[in-house]
Amino acid sequence: MKHIFLNLKRFDITPELGGVNRLAEPGQWGQAVASSIKDVADAYADVAEFAAFLPEAHLIGAANAAAGSHLGIGSEGVHGADTAPGGNFGAFTTLRTANSVTQLGCGWTLVGHCEERMNLRAIMGESGATADQIEPAVNRILNREVKAAQAAGLKVLFCMGERSEEVDAWEQVLTAQVSEGLEGCDLENVRIAYEPVWSIGPGKTPADAPYIAKVARLVKSVVTGVDVVYGGGLKADNAKMLAGIEEIDGGLIALTRFSGEIGFYPEEYAQIVDLYLNA
């Protein structure tokens, strides 16, 4: 079984405000996303698992539109603590708890996306923590988030990957991220997305197939039985290459068009899925 994930970050913002949403009016954006791609998930349901991760304001519309289909809907993160009967009933102002996400209709969440890790590092850096203190602390925080998500019944796409300054120590860094981040978790309901942070973005050389394969082998040796998808961007121009990597079990799509009118286009999403699954 392959896994096709979609993370639309803040792509609900229109170009007038610096975003890339050309799909629908903001109020209908979540519904438009799910409505436009659920047929793809249904068409390939026998060979692949599908989930889309959206900003919180759009989860209800997306979940309603995806109801009855094989498209899972997920949040882009959860807090590491939650409400509980007889316990904390809701002192989580500004925070997104797993129970709240579940009751919005989600079955999935992201944990540990490179942008979340970046934010956690920045916060800890402001406190004066040193680099050797920050990384283990980030892994512990993310571990609590995975456990909170699973306690609420959510499946987790756990993201991990090394930065430019960590490439020489890639094995040590990635081993710590997955072993500490997923310690004590229910691995049956976890998928892992590998984000080679050092190779993502304009002007950077993308990780090649041998590199991606060796990372996937390492991850699968550390947390056995967990599928690994490529989180650095499943695109039309790398779909066939990624499909040829035996160790990789799917991919994470974000933008579908990277030039001209940059953004997410459902017809191009379908083309990417076709290219990958039919390679």
- Active site residue ranges: 113, 195
Strand partners, 228: 192
What whole-number distance in Å separates Cα of residue 102 and Cα of residue 241?
A: 35
Strand partners, 157: 110, 191
H helical segments located in the chain: 29-43, 59-66, 98-103, 114-126, 131-151, 170-181, 209-222, 239-243, 266-277
| Residue whose pair of structure tokens reads 């039309």 in the numeric block | 236
CA angle 164/167/171 to nearest 5° reads: 145
Query: Phi/psi of residue 64, each to 5°?
Result: -65, -40
